[in-house]
Amino acid sequence: MPGITSKNFDAADETRPFEDGKGRLDLVNTDRGSVGRAVFEPGWQWSKHVKPIAGTDSCQADHVGYVVSGRMKVVMDDGESAEFGPGDFMAIAPGHDAWVLGDEPCVMIDWVGFGNYAKT
């Protein structure tokens, strides 16, 4: 295992576009796992733009991350909900829908849930 790893999301190891051009997921892979930066464009909603890729009724990824910019609302399958914005830490269990709030892209970094996210 190397002592230092340096990677840049602008030169990601993999990029996965969302349906209808509503954003993308950039992944960097390391020997310690994958880290993702997602850009969710205004109008993006998981149930519209990732569900067709995932093939599940709700998002089954476990997310642990940080919101860089923009805002997002998350609603769990049981109705619990929260809004996240710049500077917020998030931990979201599997079983949810989510959508961008407002007219600014929402950018998130996720250390746990993006390895298999939006993957066919």
| Average pLDDT score over residue span 32-44 | 95
| CA separation for the pair 104, 38 (Å, rounded) | 14
| 5-20 pLDDT, tens digit each | 999 999 999 999 998 9
CB neighbours of residue 62 within 10 Å: 13
Predicted TM-score of the model (pTM) = 0.92
Residue 74 lies in a domain: yes
Q: Answer whether residue 39 is part of any domain.
A: yes
Rounded to whole angstroms, how far apart are CA atoms 48 and 86? 24
Residue 115 belongs to a domain: no
Query: So what's the pLDDT on residue 1?
Result: 63
Q: Is residue 31 part of a domain?
A: yes
Structural domain that includes position 42: 16-110
- Residue the block writes with tokens 């190891």: 13
At residue 2, does pLDDT exceed 80?
Answer: no
| Residue 119 placed within a domain | no
Task: Please report whether residue 57 resides in a domain.
Answer: yes
Count of domains observed in the chain? 1
- pLDDT > 90? residue 120: no
CATH number of the domain bearing residue 42 = 2.60.120.10
pLDDT more than 70, % of the chain: 98
> Which is more confident, 1 or 114?
114
Q: How many helices and strands (H and E) does the chain possess?
A: 2, 9
> In this structure, is residue 94 part of a structural domain?
yes
Average pLDDT over residues 85-112: 97
